[in-house]
Amino acid sequence: MFPFFDSTIILLLPALLLSFYAQHKVGSTFRKYSNVASQKGMTGAEVAAQLLAASGIRDVKIEPVPGQLSDHYDPRDKVVRLSEAVYNQRSLAALGVAAHEVGHAIQHNEEYGPLAFRTGVLPVASIGSNAAMPLFMAGFFISTMDGMGEFGMWLLWAGILLFSFAVLFQLVTLPVEFNASSRAIALLVEQRILSEQETVPAKKVLDAAALTYVAAAVMALLNLLRFIMIARGRR
């Protein structure tokens, strides 16, 4: 029996459906509000600069980056990188995304606990995401060989342990992302960049983006549950 095509695969169906929905939702919501200009007429880059200055952050740069929805904050280089659809655009969607990335820069500046924890977990999570599956699969097949069962099970559980760090990373990402979005909306109102009415579409864009992180966390958790069930079934 191949470990990824057994009866436990049905556990992943809800996560797959949620993932498809989340991807559709974030794309359609961003496109919709990319066509709605803000009353202030500021670009995403201008908003990011104003919010950083208002937060007393002077050492974070703002740069354009290629790609669609490729926006992110790089804590190593202290750079807010905005996609072309955000950097030069004046839409409610662009301003919401730009403010969200500034929210991450503020988290970094304030040493926000969940962000610091996620940064600490990242090296182990990266190793886990790359090495867990090869170890798990090797352990699964080796455990079927005569005289190799115990060694195979050791490899299998080692893979599960490594994968659990990747799952932990996905889980701790949720409060980091939700907090950045909350900060973004509050700052946009506080700085009078968006009116109360305009924050509703901006929040819809950020909520749709947050759903993709929820879907990723659910998928990771269900996969971990599957692997544990498969391992226990090898006994």
Give the three-class secondary structure for 83. strand
- Is residue 101 part of the annotated active site? The answer reads yes
Give the Cα separation of 83 and 60 in Å (integer).
17
| Token pair listed for 29 | 């919501």
**Is the CB of residue 51 less than 8 Å from the CB of residue 192?**
no
Among 63, 84, 66, which residue's Cα sits nearest to residue 74?
A: 63
For tokens 């996560």, the residue is 15
Alpha helices (H) along the chain: 13-34, 44-54, 84-87, 92-109, 113-142, 149-190, 196-233
Catalytic residue among 46, 84, 101, 150: 101
**Is the CB of residue 14 less than 8 Å from the CB of residue 217?**
no
Active site residues: 101
